[in-house]
Structure 1
């Protein structure tokens, strides 16, 4: 793993929203295959997105996270 700050990935849980990923990561399916390499994107955590695992904004005004889970 690199110690270069520009290579680091940051994951932020947005209040009552998506999981924001900043940096470049490989998306790997259940079989262990890389299906995509992606940079700076949001993951769905409400279950409403039609673009899962990515967020499409469907959570707006419809999703409230459980207490202690990043609101």
Structure 2
């Protein structure tokens, strides 16, 4: 399995994948590449729905400002 992390946007994981959610639920995807939300704003969590694009860059997590 290969995982790609960037400074903005989702975590990209080569599929198929199985993800265990904090509540113990399990979701699966057989796609060859999946985008997993890192911002916590996705309406389709844990899958990315590009909600991170609607947040100004300086307020995004990992911007270096505290």
Deviating above 4 A after TM superposition, structure 1's stretches of 4 or more consecutive aligned residues are none
Q: CA RMSD in A?
A: 2.3
Q: How many residues align?
A: 59
Choose 1 or 2 for highest CA Rg: 1
Instruction: Give 1:34 shift.
Output: 4.7
TM-score using structure 2 length: 0.66
Q: Which residue number corresponds to residue 3 of structure 1?
A: none
Matches within 5 A, 1:1-71: 9-29=1-21, 30-31=23-24, 34-39=26-31, 40-62=33-55, 64-66=60-62
CA distance in 2, matches of 1:37, 1:61: 25
TM-score using structure 1 length: 0.62
Q: Which runs of 5+ in 1 are unaligned?
A: 1-8
Q: Which runs of 5+ in 2 are unaligned?
A: none
User: Quick check: which one's helix share is greater?
Assistant: 2
CA distance in 2, matches of 1:38, 1:27: 12
